[in-house]
Amino acid sequence: MRTGPDAYALLDIALTTLRGAVLPHVAPEARYAALMVANALDIAGRELRGFDASGHAMVVALAPLYGEDADDALAGEELDTRVSALQHRLCIEIAAGDFDHDGQDVLMDALEAIVRARLVIANPKAAGQGA
């Protein structure tokens, strides 16, 4: 059984050490690779912490289209399955032309909210950039 710091804490301290004790001394030819490592650790940490929050945000984003209530009790795989099912349904409707003439504003709002929820994990800075 695990007794030490958990995965979140390990990732945090690894990143802090990389930034504070390693990056300043990395040779120029290895700096790009070192920055990529820091970026990857950052993304992994945000994904571990924020995966469910991102899933809930996507369900909320799709509510204006499908009227699904955000069920806060859903988590992990179950939540992921719910989000995937809603997104699949939307993909089918889009491809069938359901939004060719009407409902584009609602659709665009939903799509933007979905992408924003994913950007919170992948690249939070890009989520905030203006149009």
The residue among 15 and 115 lying less far from other proteins, judged by its C-beta, is 115
The residue among 12 and 116 lying less far from other proteins, judged by its C-beta, is 116
Write out the binding residues for other proteins, residues 12-41 only, by CB under 8 A: 28-29, 31-33, 35-37, 39-40
Q: How far apart are CA 20 and CA 23, in angstroms?
A: 7
Contact between 18 and 38 under an 8 Å Cβ cutoff? The reply is yes
Does 123 contact other proteins by CB under 8 A?
yes
Does 84 contact other proteins by CB under 8 A?
yes
Q: How far apart are CA 106 and CA 100, in angstroms?
A: 12
What is the end-to-end Cα distance of the chain in Å, rounded? Answer: 49
The residue among 2 and 125 lying less far from other proteins, judged by its C-beta, is 125
Q: How far apart are CA 91 and CA 97, in angstroms?
A: 10
At 110, list the tokens: 């939903």
Which segment (1-9, 11-19, 66-74, 98-106) binds other proteins by CB under 8 A?
98-106
Write out the binding residues for other proteins, residues 44-83 only, by CB under 8 A: none
According to DSSP H, which parts of the chain are helical? 7-17, 28-66, 76-95, 104-122, 124-128
Neighbours of 38 (CB within 10 A): 15
Q: How far is the CB of 59 from other proteins (least distance, A)?
A: 13
Does 126 contact other proteins by CB under 8 A?
yes
Which segment (1-9, 15-23, 71-79, 88-96) binds other proteins by CB under 8 A?
88-96
